[in-house]
Every structure is written in structure tokens, then in C-alpha cells.
Amino acid sequence: MNEIIEHPLLGITLTVLAYVIAIRLHRTIRFIHPILTSSILVILVLFLFRIPIASYEIGGDILKLVLGPATIALGVPIYKHRVLIHQHLKAILIAVTLGSITGIVSAAGLMALMGGTQALIRSVMPKSVSSPIAIELSHALGGDPNITALFTVITGLIGAIGGTTLLRKLGIRDVIAIGIAMGTAAHGFGTAKSFQDDELQGTLAGLAMGLAGVICSLLFIPILIWLG
């Protein structure tokens, strides 16, 4: 039994099966995000069969190897729409910069108003960028990377589930504007949702996600200097 639990195929198989089930459920119940459903399924299996998280990660971590190629693959649609992107580059940079500043300030402000500790405030500040960048920024700020990862996932899920609907209810119909907003505020989750809606929207979301990671990293330099 221990050989099965410790085998890398356990984590890989469990993750893939959970995601397949979640995708099929999502087709029936649209508002349930597959990432949330698959995560719950994996947690339930680990809990019910008393499988240590370390054993699951042996195989689960192997899947992380595809994150790099998947991210690089976003360059293909960006190159395809390079002319349109160049035409709107100034507006895109301004929008992503303002969105990044808003994300940082609103996260810190709301957490401070709710009485959060300094460590908690620093942990939520980078929540709007992709997880790898957010975790590194949290380390640099003196926050808790685990809390940062949690809020990053929650932010992405909320954006993916309700972001597009909210923007359209506010009268925003342009796919470029929606894509930039989704990528800036909801990183990978928002980008994936945008690609489901429209290729151009997804392309702009992927571009915004990458730019937000760079811009937020630069914005945190003066913050780190100020914090000492």
C-alpha cells in the first residue's frame, strides 16, 4: 500500500481525474469553477484515504513542470495579435499600471480597516499577480507566503467566476478592455476564463497578466525601501 501511496502516478492520476470530473460538472453547473471543484475533490480523497500531502505532492509537483511551457505558449496568440497590441500599447500599459496600483492599495487598505496585522496586510498586498510572483513578493515583504497563495487563488476564482459578468453589467463590452481587466485583476484564472469567452480577450488577458507581474514587482521596490 505504501508503494502505491508514494508512487508519482498517484498524484498525477488523482489531479487529472479530479479535473476531468470538475470540467464535466462545470458544463452542467456553469457557475462552479473547475479549479475550485477539483481542489475540493483532491482534498476529500486525501482526507478520506488518509494520504499524506507529501505523498500527493510527489506526483502533483511533476505537473508543475508544464506551467512554464504553458505560460510561454501565451506568446503565440500575443504574436498573432501584435499589430493590434502595438496600436493600443500606451493605453494597455496605463490600464495595467493603474489596475496594479489599485489592487495593492485596496488589498492593504481593506485588510487594515478590518484590523489585520502588519504581517497579514503584507501577505495580501501581492494577491492580484500570479502565484509564483506573489509568493516571492510576500517573502520580500515579510508576509506569510501560505496566506498569500490562499488569497491569490481566492482572488483569481472570484475574478474568473464573476469578473466578466460584472464588467458587462457596468456597460463594458469591448473585449480588449475586458481582457486587460481580467488579466490584471485575476491573473491566470481570469486569463483562462477570457480564452473561453474570446481568443482576443484571452490574448489581452495573458498580456496583462505578464505585464502586471513585472509592474507590480517594480512598484514594490519603493514599498520595500519605505518599509525598511
Do 61 and 81 sit in the same domain of this protein? no
Do 89 and 140 sit in the same domain of this protein? yes
Q: How confident is the model at residue 3 (pLDDT cuts 50, 70, 90)?
A: low
pLDDT tens readout for residues 189-219 = 999 999 989 999 999 999 999 999 999 999 9
Do 81 and 145 sit in the same domain of this protein? yes
Question: Domain boundary residue among 47, 72, 97?
Answer: 72
Do 141 and 33 sit in the same domain of this protein? no
Expressed as residue numbers, the domain containing 148 is 75-227
pLDDT tens readout for residues 134-158 = 999 999 999 999 999 999 989 999 9
Do 53 and 91 sit in the same domain of this protein? no
Do 67 and 80 sit in the same domain of this protein? no
* Other C-beta atoms lying within 10 Å of the C-beta of residue 88: 14
* Other C-beta atoms lying within 10 Å of the C-beta of residue 175: 18
Q: If we measure between CA atoms, which residue out of 215, 133, 131, 152 comes closest to residue 180?
A: 215
Domain count, the chain: 2
